[in-house]
């Protein structure tokens, strides 16, 4: 049974990745017309265009082009960036030490803020504390992360001079200076995300609070605090986890935008440079990485859920 679920998720993962690659290939390489003309401009010389077409393999039939791109992935060859004349994978690898810690730490911070807030709010629905938390969450949900970032820069960088307004010190300069340049980006990313997640935590916990095991725990004389943290929260964690998987897409998009606000040398800056320079191999590579990581995380979350809760294994076919 477990093996079946594992195989199912693996098949799903591969199918989704293939579908995503077709999608990206079609949108970037096929739909706009001639990629060579797009990259060089319409007034470029015909022989230059022809040379670029040949270099990119655009003179091959489309299925051959697609196959070459996909086979490249399997050999860890994402193609070569036109503007940097460097393998796309190398460029991406240079940026990951900024983007990955930022994304992972902001996810951790989001969870650390959201779960206690959601739980306290669900503890006594309608109480003064619950109302306060809910108004706060509704306001934080409406905060544009860019604006929050600018407000943080105004107060903590320009006003108080505690933290840098942007740029990245680099991990080589030591863990603390590097981390210091990530604190404001982390807060700007995590606060609005935490508002969304806390609302979900609250809703799921309120849902679970209606179930019979809660009544049973109460009948056995357990304290409300005990029931909340040790009975309701663990049972609500699975749906919370699966929604966090879906939120991962927001996290990726948020990270890319916030990196731009703080001029951090991460994937965000790489892909926006690629857009202005029409560096198609680089755009495809980064897009595939971003989409692929969302797909991977979601399949992993589904798999974990099925491992933890045997009831989900029976219906897991439905979500592929």
Binding interface with other proteins (CB under 8 A): 12, 16, 19-20, 24, 27-28, 31-32, 38, 125-126, 130, 134, 138-139, 141-147, 150-151, 153-154, 158, 196, 199-200, 202-203, 206, 243, 246-247, 249-250, 252-253, 256-257, 260-261, 271-272, 275, 278, 280, 283, 287, 290-291, 294-295, 298, 317-320
The CB-side HSE value for 6 (13 A sphere, CA atoms) comes to 4
**Which residue, 144 or 310, is less far from other proteins as judged by CB?**
144
**Which residue, 182 or 189, is less far from other proteins as judged by CB?**
189
Whole-number minimum distance, CB 288 to other proteins, in Å?
Answer: 10
Contact 1, 294 (CB under 8 A): no
From CA 65, how far away is CA 71, in angstroms rounded? 10
From CA 122, how far away is CA 203, in angstroms rounded? 8
Name which of 159, 173, 122, 166 is nearest 263 in CA terms. Answer: 166
Whole-number minimum distance, CB 14 to other proteins, in Å?
Answer: 13
**Which residue, 182 or 240, is less far from other proteins as judged by CB?**
240
From CA 166, how far away is CA 268, in angstroms rounded? 14
Contact 306, 39 (CB under 8 A): no
**Which residue, 132 or 174, is less far from other proteins as judged by CB?**
132
Whole-number minimum distance, CB 209 to other proteins, in Å?
Answer: 11
From CA 98, how far away is CA 262, in angstroms rounded? 12
Compute CA 290 distance to the chain's CA centroid, rounded to the nearest angstrom.
Answer: 7
Radius of gyration for the alpha carbons in the chain, expressed in angstroms and rounded: 24
Whole-number minimum distance, CB 12 to other proteins, in Å?
Answer: 8
**Which residue, 89 or 294, is less far from other proteins as judged by CB?**
294
Whole-number minimum distance, CB 102 to other proteins, in Å?
Answer: 15
């Amino acid at each position: 049974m477990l093996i079946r679920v594992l195989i199912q998720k693996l098949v799903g993962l591969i199918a989704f990745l293939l579908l995503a690659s077709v999608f990206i290939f079609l949108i970037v390489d096929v739909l706009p017309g001639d990629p060579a003309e797009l990259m060089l401009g319409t007034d470029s010389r015909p022989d230059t265009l022809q040379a670029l077409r040949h270099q990119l393999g655009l003179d091959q039939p489309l299925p051959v082009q697609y196959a070459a791109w996909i086979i490249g992935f399997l050999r860890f060859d994402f193609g070569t960036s036109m503007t940097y004349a460097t393998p796309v994978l190398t460029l991406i690898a240079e940026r990951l030490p900024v983007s990955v810690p930022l994304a992972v730490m902001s996810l951790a911070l989001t969870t650390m803020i959201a779960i206690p807030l959601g739980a306290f709010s669900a503890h006594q629905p309608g109480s003064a504390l619950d109302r306060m938390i809910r108004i706060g969450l509704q306001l934080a949900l409406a905060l544009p992360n860019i604006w929050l970032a600018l407000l943080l820069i105004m107060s903590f960088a320009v006003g108080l001079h505690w933290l840098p307004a942007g740029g990245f010190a680099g991990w080589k300069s030591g863990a603390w200076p590097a981390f210091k340049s990530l604190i404001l980006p982390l807060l700007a990313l995590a606060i609005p995300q935490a508002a969304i997640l806390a609302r979900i935590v609250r809703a799921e916990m309120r849902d679970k609070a209606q179930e019979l095991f809660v009544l049973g725990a109460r009948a056995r004389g357990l304290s409300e605090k005990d029931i909340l943290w040790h009975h309701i929260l663990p049972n609500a964690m699975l749906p919370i986890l699966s929604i966090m998987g879906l939120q991962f897409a927001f996290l990726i998009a948020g990270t890319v935008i916030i990196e731009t606000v703080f001029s951090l040398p991460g994937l965000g800056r790489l892909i926006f440079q690629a857009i202005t320079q029409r560096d198609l191999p680089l755009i495809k590579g980064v897009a595939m990485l971003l989409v692929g990581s969302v797909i991977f995380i979601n399949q992993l979350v589904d798999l974990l859920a099925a491992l933890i809760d045997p009831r989900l294994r029976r219906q897991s076919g439905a979500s592929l």
